[in-house]
Amino acid sequence: MNHLLSIDDLDRAALDELHTLAESFLEVTGREIPKVPALRGKVVVSLFYEDSTRTRLSFETAAKRLSADVMTFAVGSSSVKKGESLRDTIQTIAAMGIDAVVVRHPSAGAAHQLARWVDASVVNAGDGRHEHPTQALLDTLTIRRHRGPAIDGLRVAIVGDVRNSRVARSDVKALALLGAEVTLVAPDTLLPPSLAGWPCTATHDLESVLGDVDVLMLLRIQRERAAEASFPSLREFTARWGLTVDRAARLGPGTLVMHPGPMNRGVEIAPEVADGPRSLIAEQVHNGVAIRMAVLWKLLSGGSGGGMVA
């Protein structure tokens, strides 16, 4: 495995392997000194053209816990100049000798393009609305840690701005790979223009799924969408598609609630629900570091298979 650009890069076996590796790394993150020398001497670059402290720190923490060296290039600091071409930027950085680059960019396909220009392993940390593979890996890891490794037939509903969500695109693929049944819940303005070939169904009606869904994943709704006339107001969005306290009370007893963050408390999810007992939001963040350790390890350690000369 050279890069992680999309969930399409993984088959079922590879996804299971990453989850298994993440389990090992969860144990590591639980230690007094949560660090292993595994990637000592490797250089991991984080190249973030979008402001995202949380995800960037999650990746950087993952790299540091593997004892790799980290270089940060983030927009907003002078190190990423808006005028300099992506190609020039990455080739200049790569000339310093790097092993992996974690990239987030507002344009779909940026990670794919980067992978054509450098020998280093490229990890897509979010490219426009296209994909965010490590988010889907940590989401599915979190579900499996609660529902067991086999989640065939598990009913998952993804609610909110699917059209503009790279998290949703990656989650749908990863969940399908694991055999889960996915339903998208949103008005047509927030669904993709075509669902042909998507391994999921869609509905406008959140009420209709509440009773028999096993996992409810909420997506962040952005204020700009209201300005684009995707729906009349945040108030109306919350009234029809928000996970209010009332709706949460009508969920089945074992239903789990997830959100990739950052949350708009009171919009797509009521604060009490976000902090409540069903919510796995904090655990998702915790699992994020471990899964990113697994991804970096897998890309930079040279593969799988056991056997060492004792």
Catalytic residues, which ones?
54-55, 82, 104, 132
CB closer to other proteins out of 31 and 223: 31
- Binding part of the chain for other proteins, among 178-186, 241-249, 255-263, 302-310 by CB under 8 A, reads 302-310
- Binding part of the chain for other proteins, among 52-60, 71-79, 203-211, 296-304 by CB under 8 A, reads 296-304
Q: Which residue has tokens 């989401």?
A: 139
* Residue 73 backbone phi and psi in degrees, to 5: -125, 110
Quick one: which H or E segment has residue 288?
helix 281-300
| Paired residues of 44 in beta bridges | 70, 100
State yes or no: residue 306 binds other proteins (CB under 8 A). Answer: yes
State yes or no: residue 149 binds other proteins (CB under 8 A). Answer: yes
State yes or no: residue 278 binds other proteins (CB under 8 A). Answer: no
d(CA 241, CA 58): 29
Q: Please, are residues 56 and 72 in contact by the beta-carbon 8 Å criterion?
A: yes
Quick one: which H or E segment has residue 44?
strand 43-48
Largest CA distance in the chain: 66
Pick one of 110, 138, 217, 267: the residue that binds other proteins (CB under 8 A): 110
Structure tokens that stand for 28 in this block: 């590591």
Which residues, other chains included, contact 98 with Cβ-Cβ below 8 Å and sequence gap of 6+?
Answer: 43, 44, 45, 71, 118, 120
Binding mask 41-80 for other proteins (x = CB under 8 A): -x-----------------------x--------------
Quick one: which H or E segment has residue 27?
helix 12-29
CB closer to other proteins out of 12 and 31: 31
CB closer to other proteins out of 66 and 257: 66
State yes or no: residue 268 binds other proteins (CB under 8 A). Answer: no
CB closer to other proteins out of 99 and 238: 99
Query: Contact positions toward other proteins, by CB under 8 A?
Result: 17, 19-21, 23-24, 26-28, 30-39, 42, 66, 85-88, 105-110, 112-113, 127-131, 141, 144-146, 148-149, 166, 169, 192-198, 283, 286, 297, 300-306, 308-310
